[in-house]
Chain A
Amino acid sequence: MEDNILLKINNISVVYSDVIQILKAVSLDIPEGQIVSLLGSNGAGKTTTLKAVSGILKPENGKVTEGTINYEGHNIQNSSPERVTRLGIIQVMEGRQPFKYLTVEENLRVGTATRWGKPYKKDLEMVYHYFAPLVYRKHSLAGYCSGGELQMLVMGRALMAQPRLLLLDEPSLGLAPMLVKEIFEIVKRINKEQRTTLMLVEQNANMALQIANFGYVMENGKIVLEGDAKDLRENPDVKEFYLGVAATGAIKTYKDVKSYKRRKRWL
Chain B
Amino acid sequence: MEFFFQILINGLSIGFLYALTALGFVMIFKSSSVLNFAHGGLMAIGAFLFLVLSVWARLPIWLAFILTLAGSFSLGFIIERFFLRPLIGEALIEVIMLTLGLFIMFRGLLLFIFGGDIYSYPDFLPPALTFHWGPIEVAGVYVATFIIGLIFLGLFGFFFKYSSQGIYMRSVADNQPAAMALGVHVRRVFALSWAIAALVCAMSGIVLGIINGINVHEVSDLGIKVFPVVILGGLDSIGGAILGGIIIGLLETFTGGYISSGLREVVPYIVLIIILLIKPYGLFGLVEIERV
> Do A and B share a direct contact in the complex (Cβ within 8 angstroms)?
yes
Binding site for B on A (CB under 8 A): 54, 56, 59, 81-82, 84-86, 90-93, 97-102, 106-107, 109-114, 116-117, 141, 143-144, 154, 157-158, 161
Distance A141 CA – B167 CA, assembled complex (angstroms): 13
In the A-B complex, list the 7 residue pairs whose CB atoms are closest, starting with the nearest: A85-B183, A143-B289, A114-B183, A99-B174, A97-B178, A113-B184, A110-B171
Partner of B182, one of A101, A106, A110, A141: A110
Contact between chains at A113 and B170 (CB < 8 Å): no
Minimum C-beta distance from A149 to chain B (A) = 13
- Residue in contact with A144 in the complex, picked from B164, B184, B289, CB distance below 8 Å: B289
Query: Is B152 located at the chain interface by the 8 A CB criterion?
Result: no
Contact A161 B183 (CB under 8 A): yes
Taking Cβ atoms with an 8 Å cutoff, the residues of B that contact A are: 89, 164-165, 167-168, 170-171, 174-175, 177-185, 286, 289, 291
Q: Are A99 and B170 interface neighbours, CB within 8 A?
A: yes
Instruction: Tell me which of A86, A91, A98 contacts B175 (CB under 8 A).
Output: A98
Residues of B close to A157: CB separation below 8 A: 182
Pair B286/A101 contact, Cβ less than 8 Å: yes
| Known pairs A86-B183, A109-B164; A99 contacts B171 (CB<8 A) | yes
Which of B175, B180, B183 has the most chain A CB atoms closer than 10 A to its own CB? B183
Known: A59-B89, A82-B183, A90-B183. A101 touches B177 (CB 8 A): no
- In the assembled complex, 14 residue pairs joining A and B whose CB atoms fall closer than 8 Å, in A order, are A56-B180, A82-B185, A86-B183, A91-B181, A93-B177, A93-B181, A98-B178, A100-B289, A101-B170, A101-B289, A107-B171, A110-B167, A110-B168, A154-B178
Interface contacts (Cβ under 8 Å), in number, total: 83
Given contacts A93-B177, A101-B174, A141-B289, contact A85 B182 (CB under 8 A): yes
If the complex has contacts A101-B289, A106-B170, are A113 and B177 also in contact, measured as CB distance less than 8 A?
no
Interface of A is mostly: helix
Alpha-carbon separation in the docked complex, A143 to B286 (Å): 11
Shortest beta-carbon distance from A76 to chain B in Å: 13
Q: Which residues of B contact A93 (CB under 8 A)?
A: 177-178, 181
4 further A-B pairs in the complex, CB-CB below 8 A; given A85-B182, A97-B175, A143-B289: A56-B181, A93-B178, A110-B167, A113-B184
Known contacts: A101-B174, A102-B167, A116-B165. The answer to whether A143 contacts B291 by CB under 8 A is yes
How far, in whole Å, are A99 and B167 apart by their CA atoms in the complex? 10
B289 touches A113 (CB 8 A): no
B164 touches A117 (CB 8 A): yes
Chain A nearest CB from B86 CB (Å) reads 14
Complex Cα gap A100–B287 (Å): 11
Residues of chain A within 8 A of B286, CB atoms compared = 101
CB contacts (< 8 Å) of B164 on chain A: these are 109, 112-113, 116-117
Closest B residue to A50 by beta carbon equals B181
Q: Which of A85, A106, A141 contacts B181 (CB 8 A)?
A: A85
Please name all residues of chain A whose beta carbon is closer than 8 Å to the beta carbon of B170 when the two chains form the complex: 99, 101-102, 106
Q: What B residues does A114 contact at CB under 8 A? A: 182-183
B180 touches A59 (CB 8 A): yes
Contact B184 A110 (CB under 8 A): yes
A16 to chain B, nearest CB (A): 15
A56 touches B183 (CB 8 A): no
**Contacting pair A81 B174 (CB below 8 A):** no
In the bound assembly, the distance between CA atoms of A235 and B184 in angstroms comes to 42
Q: Is the CB of B182 within 8 A of A102?
A: no
